[in-house]
Amino acid sequence: MVGWEFFINLASKLNTAIMYSLTGRFELAKEVINLNWFLLYIAVYVISIWGTYGLTVDLNKLSILADREDSTLIPIKISTLEICYLDKRNPWVAAALSVLAPGLGHLYTHRVPTSFFLLVKFIVIAYFSHLMPAIHYTFMGAFEQATVVVDPQWLLFFPSLYGFAIYDSYVNTVEYNRLFGMEQSRFIRDNYQGEYMYRSLECEFGKCS
């Protein structure tokens, strides 16, 4: 779905039309937009919103059921892609790393496939938007040259990319910390609570050593 949306956005020149609209050049926006592809963009958004909403409702139900059933949490998992384990991490560090480059925050939380996808997407967008030359010219004070060299169609992919990367890495870190706390609580309860209660009863009857 992401690749399809990406393709339609490029084919319809939607980002360029958005730039012209935001700068008040509405006639240019009408000229540059490709209606053959633009109308398909609506269908992509409707399907995406409908699908993600339904999936979120189902996942919330499964999460509530797992909490009530006291389901077992696997603290560590080794796969061909990564070694993933529950641990306490700082959500703000994940967000800050995502600001440096989308994908680094997910790498911090050991979400390797998502991290790889976001990093590749960031590199592709940065290359085709000519972001690095624009940054170079900006540092040199050649602002006019920076605006000429940059491609707005590709550049305007960055707000959604950064917004998703920062938000998703932060929320995932918060949720992983919650799961880590639940797993530790369950481990202590299952392995030490019985012994602690037994010793407390012994001491209550004057038999503790």
SS3 per-residue string spanning 120-165: HHHHHHHHHCCHHHHHHHHHCCCHHHHHHHCCHHHHCCHHHHHHHH
The domain total for the chain is: 2
Render pLDDT for 6-64 as a digit per residue (tens, 0 to 9): 888 888 888 888 888 888 888 888 888 888 888 887 877 788 888 888 888 988 888 78
Instruction: Give the integer Cα–Cα distance in Å for 203 and 116.
Output: 56
Q: Are residues 51 and 91 in the same domain?
A: no
Neighbour count for residue 53 (Cβ, 10 Å): 10
Task: Quote the pLDDT of residue 201.
Answer: 46
| Whole-number average pLDDT of the chain | 83
- Domain that includes residue 131, residue range: 73-209
Neighbour count for residue 124 (Cβ, 10 Å): 13
Query: What is the pTM for the complete model shown?
Result: 0.77
DSSP state of 207: -
Give the percent of the chain with pLDDT over 70: 89
Q: Are residues 65 and 80 in the same domain?
A: no
Pick out the chain residues at pLDDT < 70: 1, 81-82, 193-209
Q: Are residues 99 and 66 in the same domain?
A: no
